[in-house]
């Protein structure tokens, strides 16, 4: 069983938070989790403070903003989260950094938040706060454009869980997470891998089908990964662009959730690979990056 004692749910009081809250509540009801409802009051921008306000006025303005935020936070999602254990946290600072620090300090096992992409291009961008959280968070992050659509609780199901792996050194971790979740919700587990497609001129390699050989090798390695983790799953291997392949599989197999790895690299690339960004943007279902 997954250990989800605490789920951090950052909110900005927008409608987008409702969908994330409903998924958090689904998990909380299954695991007995405490939901940490966090709102971050960001500092007043320098250009306004320097040109329009004095120090005393700024202090009063900041105090008023925080008092109003506290009042809104106490009432926000009260009806939707009724029956769940909820602790409401108000913090000052830059939003993404504060979310990551709060998750670490509180020992959160999961962060649930929408992508905050806007308008007709929401599938092609990630909001800056979400992107930074995905980049820096130490714990899994549950996100996706579908969290913004606020599905009714009765419509939320976890019947098919898809784990997309790149067969890199950290593939076992997301697979274990996906397998545990599928087990706990009695869901079907699917494991997908995308092999790079090799384009060859006719006759260049004789009668060999290199793409078929790559797929067979990947199938073998996936079998070894299942044996290592003890997971039981249907295996899917296709050649092509990784985000396109796994998102297509998610759509065709009616996945209710996709689990991917973010790696453990530090430095400028952080924890989120390029493919992970693309998958989250294009996925037809919510995505947990582990």
Spatial CB neighbours of 147, under 8 Å, sequence gap ≥ 6: 16, 19, 20, 23, 112, 113, 114, 115, 286
Note whether 274 and 215 are same-domain residues.
Answer: yes
pLDDT tens digit string along 174-206? Answer: 999 999 999 999 999 999 999 988 766 665 565
Note whether 8 and 151 are same-domain residues.
Answer: yes
Helix (H) or strand (E) holding 132: helix 128-136
Q: Could you tell me the CATH number of the domain that includes residue 203? A: 3.40.50.620
Residue 73, domain extent: 1-156
Q: Of 127, 156, 185, at which residue does a domain stop?
A: 156
Note whether 54 and 111 are same-domain residues.
Answer: yes
Asked if 142 and 285 touch (Cβ cutoff 8 Å), the reply is no
Residue 277: the pLDDT is 83
Q: Of 135, 156, 177, at which residue does a domain stop?
A: 156
Note whether 143 and 228 are same-domain residues.
Answer: no
Helix (H) or strand (E) holding 26: helix 16-31
Note whether 3 and 128 are same-domain residues.
Answer: yes
Residue 268: the pLDDT is 36
Note whether 141 and 187 are same-domain residues.
Answer: no
pLDDT tens digit string along 153-176? Answer: 778 889 999 999 999 888 999 999
CA atoms 89, 91, 96, 98: torsion sign = negative
Q: Of 124, 156, 188, at which residue does a domain stop?
A: 156
- The low-confidence residues of the chain, meaning pLDDT below 50, are 47-51, 117-125, 264-271
E strand spans, 96-231: 110-112, 141-143, 160-164, 188-195
Spatial CB neighbours of 193, under 8 Å, sequence gap ≥ 6: 164, 165, 166, 167, 218, 222, 235, 236, 237
How many CB atoms within 10 Å of residue 20?
Answer: 27
For 73, the token pair is 């936070």
Residue 43: the pLDDT is 82
Note whether 117 and 12 are same-domain residues.
Answer: yes
Number of domains making up the chain: 2
How many CB atoms within 10 Å of residue 5?
Answer: 14
Note whether 44 and 148 are same-domain residues.
Answer: yes
CA-based radius of gyration for the chain: 21
Q: What are phi and psi of 285, to 5 degrees?
A: -140, 165
- Match 């493919």 to its residue by tokens: 275
Q: Collapse the DSSP code of 252 into the 3-class scheme (helix H, G, I; strand E, B; otherwise coil) and give the result.
A: helix
Residue 173: the pLDDT is 94
Note whether 26 and 116 are same-domain residues.
Answer: yes
Note whether 170 and 188 are same-domain residues.
Answer: yes
E strand spans, 117-226: 141-143, 160-164, 188-195
Residue 197: the pLDDT is 82
Cα distances (Å, whole numbers) of residue 23 to 48, 107, 158, 272:
38, 19, 10, 22
Note whether 263 and 188 are same-domain residues.
Answer: yes
């Amino acid at each position: 069983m997954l250990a989800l004692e605490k789920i951090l749910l950052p909110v900005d009081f927008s409608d987008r938070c409702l969908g994330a809250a409903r998924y958090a509540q689904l998990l909380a009801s299954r695991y007995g989790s405490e939901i940490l409802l966090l709102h971050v009051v960001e500092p007043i921008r320098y250009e306004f403070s320097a040109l329009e306000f004095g120090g005393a006025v700024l202090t009063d303005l900041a105090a008023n903003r925080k008092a109003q935020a506290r009042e809104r936070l106490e009432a926000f999602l009260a009806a939707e989260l009724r029956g769940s254990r909820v602790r409401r946290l108000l913090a000052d600072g830059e939003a993404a950094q504060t979310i990551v620090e709060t998750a670490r300090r509180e020992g959160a096992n999961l962060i649930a938040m929408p992508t905050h992409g806007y308008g007709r291009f929401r599938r092609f961008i990630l909001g800056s706060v979400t992107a930074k959280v995905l980049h820096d968070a130490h714990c899994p992050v549950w996100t996706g454009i579908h969290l913004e659509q606020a599905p009714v609780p009765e419509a939320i199901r976890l019947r098919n869980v898809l784990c997309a792996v790149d067969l890199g050194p950290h593939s076992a971790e997301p697979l274990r997470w996906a397998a545990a979740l599928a087990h706990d919700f009695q869901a079907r587990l699917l494991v997908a891998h995308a092999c790079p497609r090799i384009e060859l001129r006719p006759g260049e390699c004789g009668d060999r089908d290199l793409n078929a050989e790559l797929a067979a090798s990947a199938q073998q390695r996936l079998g070894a990964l299942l044996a290592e983790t003890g997971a039981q799953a249907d295996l899917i291997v296709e050649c092509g662009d990784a985000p396109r392949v796994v998102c297509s599989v998610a759509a065709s197999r009616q996945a209710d959730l996709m689990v991917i790895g973010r790696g453990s690299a530090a430095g400028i690339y952080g924890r989120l690979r390029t493919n992970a960004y693309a998958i989250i943007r294009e996925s037809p279902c919510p995505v947990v990056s582990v």
